[in-house]
């Protein structure tokens, strides 16, 4: 019998003795949400998706949702959670015609239950997605496994989610799996599926002949209205096409991905989703990003007490050796993946002009080798004025946020962007390109500076305007106050997701619960 012909629902996994399936929503009617993500801060992250998946479930829980997160037990997670106990000793997970066994360990993200997929052969690696020379060769297998395992867990735990909420291409197969092979599985068949795109630039492309790995039917799925994309499989497209609701992480980016410039070839797919495509702005986890109680910085501060910020600046100057910067001149900070998306080529080109403004520049980033080398070449002549650190360093990212006067975010595109939101809370004024979520969080001249054309001259011009404002006695404190008082806490965004879940469950529409 081929994988596609296997009977569903699948056999139950060996798990804890339960009292039989829990049906319907939580007692007070709030949704049960299975949250499937390839990253979750502080356990595993390469960027903002990790921040979101670490914080949003906790905000949903505060609003009453019964939310549970599924995450691979990567090597970094294993190191932090070695003592976590298996909640399921053996779940059978189909992959490419075989059934693999997987233990599921239980952890917590705050108070949110976390289910960790323990398969050393797939996830016990130095990085999440790639070795220095390129992506892991078996990423299709690794993330197909995540999708199947996530759909097997509810049955094994006798817990029936109302909504499955998935994130980015790594989880894109959940939607067609729910509509195909799992449509007869009572533990998940009634769940509605939300797919959130954090970055349409990562499309999860794999050779078409590998479709058999996924367990999906070629006849049902491999066509232009399905997950076929110019002769390849696209896992991002799978999520976008088959989900019940499609969201992205800011209202502006939701519009932008429907255009050829930023849809990156998928604009037709996104446009076709029409009304079911929503932009919900990310929030900030002010538990982790609050200058008044940040354990990483030299001194705490807040809007009513800014002396701490001056101490953080001195500490940053000392840590980075920026002794060539006059005390009254601003420090420009950068915390970024080194990726074409982030406009780091503009930064490298504009560097001499920025230094000529008598500024100091602190850059923290990692990623693309060519961008790293371009920045190293650009920074080399400016010892004592420009500090470049390559690596991923959470503590240092906080010290830059607190010690710098400006944060530069010259992105080519930016679905939401979190660093500018953190910078605002730290009274560090963002200078950013007017795109995506940067446009939705920064008001030019009020709490930051925006520039339009994607070129080094426009970046330098915006920094010039910013530096002029920095030396104005009245304007500057006003901008810093505006920045620090902006509120992007998760509760507001989480409430919008709750509304979406409830609408999908049918309450808003007709008052009838998905489970009667």
The contact set with ligand GLC (CB under 6 A) reads 47-49, 52, 198-199, 249, 282, 414-418, 437
Minimum gap (Å) between residue 397 Cβ and ligand ADP: 4
- Give the list of residues 6+ apart from residue 123 with CB closer than 8 angstroms, or none: 72, 73, 74, 75, 117, 142
Please identify, using beta-carbon distances, which residue of 193 and 412 lies nearer to ligand ADP: 412
Three-state SS for 385-442 is: CEEEEECCCHHHHHHHHHHCCEEEECCCCCCCCCHHHHHHHCCCEEEEECCHHHHHHC
Q: Which region among 11-19, 184-192, 316-324, 393-401 touches ligand ADP (by CB under 6 A)?
A: 393-401
Please identify, using beta-carbon distances, which residue of 393 and 499 lies nearer to ligand ADP: 393
Asked if 129 interacts with ligand ADP (CB under 6 A), we say no
Instruction: Determine how β-strand 277-279 pairs with β-strand 386-390.
Output: unpaired
What is the four-CA torsion angle of 284, 287, 291, 294, rounded to 10 degrees?
-130
Asked if 376 interacts with ligand ADP (CB under 6 A), we say no
From the list ligand GLC, ligand ADP, none, which binds 393 (C-beta under 5 to 8 Å, kind-based)?
A: ligand ADP
DSSP label at residue 453:
S
Please identify, using beta-carbon distances, which residue of 374 and 418 lies nearer to ligand ADP: 418
Pull the structure tokens for residue 69: 């997160």
Please identify, using beta-carbon distances, which residue of 18 and 395 lies nearer to ligand ADP: 395
Minimum gap (Å) between residue 10 Cβ and ligand ADP: 35
Please name which of 169, 152, 148 lies closest in space to residue 96, comparing C-alpha atoms: 148
Asked if 417 interacts with ligand ADP (CB under 6 A), we say yes
Q: Counting beta carbons within 10 angstroms of the beta carbon of residue 27, is it exposed (0 to 12), middle (13 to 18) or buried (19 or more)?
A: exposed
Please identify, using beta-carbon distances, which residue of 308 and 343 lies nearer to ligand ADP: 343
Nearest residue to ligand GLC on Cβ basis:
48
Number of residues that bind ligand ADP (CB under 6 A): 18
Pull the structure tokens for residue 469: 């404002």
Interface map 23-52 toward ligand ADP (x if CB under 6 A):
------------------------xxx-x-
CA 396 to chain centre: 20
Residue 299, helix vs strand vs coil = coil
The β-bridge partners of 389 are 364
Asked if 410 interacts with ligand ADP (CB under 6 A), we say no
Minimum gap (Å) between residue 416 Cβ and ligand GLC: 3
Asked if 366 interacts with ligand ADP (CB under 6 A), we say yes
Q: Which region among 135-143, 220-228, 238-246, 387-395 touches ligand ADP (by CB under 6 A)?
A: 387-395
Please identify, using beta-carbon distances, which residue of 320 and 336 lies nearer to ligand GLC: 336
Cβ–Cβ < 8 Å for 416, 437: yes
From the list ligand GLC, ligand ADP, none, which binds 336 (C-beta under 5 to 8 Å, kind-based)?
A: ligand ADP
Asked if 310 interacts with ligand ADP (CB under 6 A), we say no
Asked if 203 interacts with ligand ADP (CB under 6 A), we say no
From the list ligand GLC, ligand ADP, none, which binds 249 (C-beta under 5 to 8 Å, kind-based)?
A: ligand GLC
CA distances from 412 to 184, 217, 280, 346 (A): 44, 38, 20, 9
From the list ligand GLC, ligand ADP, none, which binds 346 (C-beta under 5 to 8 Å, kind-based)?
A: none
Q: Which region among 159-167, 184-192, 237-245, 332-340 touches ligand ADP (by CB under 6 A)?
A: 332-340
Please identify, using beta-carbon distances, which residue of 92 and 168 lies nearer to ligand ADP: 168
Minimum gap (Å) between residue 423 Cβ and ligand ADP: 10
From the list ligand ADP, ligand GLC, none, which binds 392 (C-beta under 5 to 8 Å, kind-based)?
A: ligand ADP
Asked if 319 interacts with ligand ADP (CB under 6 A), we say no
Asked if 418 interacts with ligand ADP (CB under 6 A), we say yes
- Choice from 290, 393, 461, 499 touching ligand ADP (CB under 6 A): 393
Please identify, using beta-carbon distances, which residue of 405 and 414 lies nearer to ligand GLC: 414
Please identify, using beta-carbon distances, which residue of 92 and 440 lies nearer to ligand ADP: 440
Please identify, using beta-carbon distances, which residue of 119 and 198 lies nearer to ligand GLC: 198
- Which residue is associated with the tokens 């002949």? 209
Asked if 154 interacts with ligand ADP (CB under 6 A), we say no
Asked if 392 interacts with ligand ADP (CB under 6 A), we say yes
* Sign for the pseudo-dihedral over CA of 165, 171, 175, 180: negative
From the list ligand GLC, ligand ADP, none, which binds 138 (C-beta under 5 to 8 Å, kind-based)?
A: none
Round to whole Å and give the CA distance between 272 and 252.
Answer: 17
In 169-306, which ranges are continuous DSSP H helix? Answer: 174-179, 218-221, 235-242, 251-256, 260-263, 267-272
Give the Cβ contact number of residue 231 at 10 Å.
8
Nearest residue to ligand ADP on Cβ basis:
48
Ramachandran region of residue 34, left (φ > 0), alpha (ψ -120 to 50) or beta? beta
In 28-74, which ranges are continuous DSSP H helix? Answer: 48-62
Three-state SS for 144-158 is: HHHHHHHHHHHHHHC
Round to whole Å and give the CA distance between 249 and 258.
Answer: 14
Longest dimension (CA), the chain: 77
Please identify, using beta-carbon distances, which residue of 393 and 455 lies nearer to ligand ADP: 393
Asked if 291 interacts with ligand ADP (CB under 6 A), we say no
Residue 308, helix vs strand vs coil = helix
What is the contact surface with ligand ADP in residues (CB under 6 A)? 47-49, 51, 335-337, 364-366, 392-394, 397, 416-419
């Amino acid at each position: 019998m081929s994988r596609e012909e296997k009977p569903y629902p699948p056999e139950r996994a060996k798990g804890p003795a339960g009292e039989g399936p829990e049906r319907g929503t939580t007692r007070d009617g709030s949704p049960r949400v299975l949250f499937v993500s390839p990253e979750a801060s502080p356990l595993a992250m390469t960027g903002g998706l990790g921040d979101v998946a670490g914080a949003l479930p906790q905000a949903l829980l505060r609003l009453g949702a019964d939310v549970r997160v599924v995450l691979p037990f990567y090597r970094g997670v294993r190191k932090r959670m070695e003592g976590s106990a298996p909640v399921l000793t053996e779940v059978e997970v189909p992959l490419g015609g075989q059934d693999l066994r997987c233990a599921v360990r239980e952890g917590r993200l705050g108070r949110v239950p976390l289910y960790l997929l323990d398969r050393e052969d797939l996830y016990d690696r130095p990085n999440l997605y790639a070795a220095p020379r390129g992506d892991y060769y078996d990423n299709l297998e690794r993330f197909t496994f995540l999708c199947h395992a996530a759909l097997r867990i509810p049955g094994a735990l006798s817990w029936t989610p109302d909504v499955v909420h998935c994130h980015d291409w790594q989880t894109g197969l959940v939607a067609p799996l729910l509509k195909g092979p799992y449509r007869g599985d009572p533990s998940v068949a009634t769940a509605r599926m939300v797919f959130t795109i954090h970055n349409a630039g990562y499309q999860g492309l794999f050779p078409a002949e590998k479709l058999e790995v996924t367990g999906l039917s070629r006849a049902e799925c491999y066509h232009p209205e399905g997950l076929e994309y110019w002769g390849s499989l696209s896992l991002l497209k799978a999520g976008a096409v088959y989900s019940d609701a499609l969201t992205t992480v800011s209202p502006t980016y939701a519009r932008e991905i429907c255009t050829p410039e930023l849809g990156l070839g998928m604009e037709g797919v996104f446009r076709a989703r029409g009304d079911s495509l929503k932009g919900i702005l990310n929030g900030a986890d002010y538990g982790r990003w609050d200058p008044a109680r940040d354990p990483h910085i030299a001194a705490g501060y807040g809007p009513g007490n800014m002396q701490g910020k001056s101490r953080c600046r001195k500490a940053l100057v000392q840590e980075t050796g920026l002794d060539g910067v006059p005390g009254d001149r601003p420090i420009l900070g950068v915390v970024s993946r080194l990726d074409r998306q982030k406009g780091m080529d503009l930064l490298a080109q504009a560097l001499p002009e920025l230094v000529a403004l008598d500024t100091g520049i602190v850059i923290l980033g990692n990623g693309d080798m060519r961008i790293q080398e371009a920045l190293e070449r650009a920074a080399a002549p400016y010892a004592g004025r420009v500090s470049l650190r390559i690596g991923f360093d959470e503590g240092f990212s906080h010290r830059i946020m607190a010690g710098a006067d400006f944060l530069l975010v010259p992105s080519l595109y930016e679905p939401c962007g979190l660093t500018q939101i953190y910078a605002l809370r730290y009274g560090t004024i963002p200078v950013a390109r007017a795109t995506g979520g940067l446009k939705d969080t920064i008001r030019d001249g009020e709490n930051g500076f925006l520039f339009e054309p994607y070129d080094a001259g426009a970046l330098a011009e915006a920094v010039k305007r910013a530096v002029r404002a920095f030396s104005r006695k009245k304007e500057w404190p006003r901008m810093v106050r505006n920045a620090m008082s902006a509120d992007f806490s998760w509760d507001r965004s989480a409430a919008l997701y709750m509304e979406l879940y409830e609408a999908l469950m049918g309450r808003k529409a007709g008052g009838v619960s998905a489970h009667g």
